[in-house]
Chains A and B, each alone.
Chain A
């Protein structure tokens, strides 16, 4: 699965080492998830 293989890998990185592209991806996934999850 994409999340397990890649997203979780990036999310475990040291924040100082995240690239602009990875930052964009993290934000985008979070943004989409927060909109499809009214239960939290």
Chain B
């Protein structure tokens, strides 16, 4: 087929192109609104950087109706072995991003995953994953500096990792919502841990001292992470204990 090249012209030509795209994405939105969930036309939808053109309102509607993932960061590379994508980037062969609808596909069945929202702490989750993959320089992003202590989500992920439960990966969709994905078989323990409010963990986490050198600072950060993880363990155990103790109040009523 013939190759199209974008033309760069004056304002009038730009307006004409802008109008043509407006009409195109209007037609795409109408198809989606009628219930279409696949088709080549969906591959024309950008996942980001569309706010500069008139068509943005239609594109936004399509993405609200059919959100797609624009970033996937797997914990283990094997999970993306057979990913197919076209316009996308890889960083260190471990992270995949795409600006185009339908360009990233995973070799993981979504039915085998359970997702937990981490939009507020997406950067921390990403840094934790990189840190676990032996990137020691990521530790500074695991720390909140007001006050200086490790984020609650770090303690949760460390606790789960100690139990052998690692996330499958982290993903961000076209509406900028981030999720951390675990295997469905781990849903119970992950739900128990993730339901603990971060603030409760952070309240019990040790403050990082102003260290005089990097080694001392890392030691202090490790201590903060350890106390955070211990606090998660205590919380989980107390919940388990409460579940094990039978509530016999109904027996008294029977008597």
List the interface of chain A (C-beta within 8 A of B). Answer: 1-4, 6-8, 10-12, 14-16, 18-40
Contacts and interface: CB of A to CB of B under 8 A. Distances in A.
B1 A16 contact: no
Nearest to B8: A36
B40 A23 contact: yes
Interface residues of B, number: 41
A18 B24 CA distance: 11
Interface of B: 1-9, 13-14, 16-18, 20-21, 23-24, 27-28, 31, 36, 39-46, 49-55, 86-87, 99-100
B49 A1 contact: no
Contact of A34 (B1, B36, B46, B100): B46
Contact of A18 (B7, B36, B40, B51): B40
A25 B46 CA distance: 12
Question: Which secondary structure dominates chain A's binding surface?
Answer: helix
B7 A1 contact: yes
Contacts of A18: 39-41, 44
Contacts of A38: 52
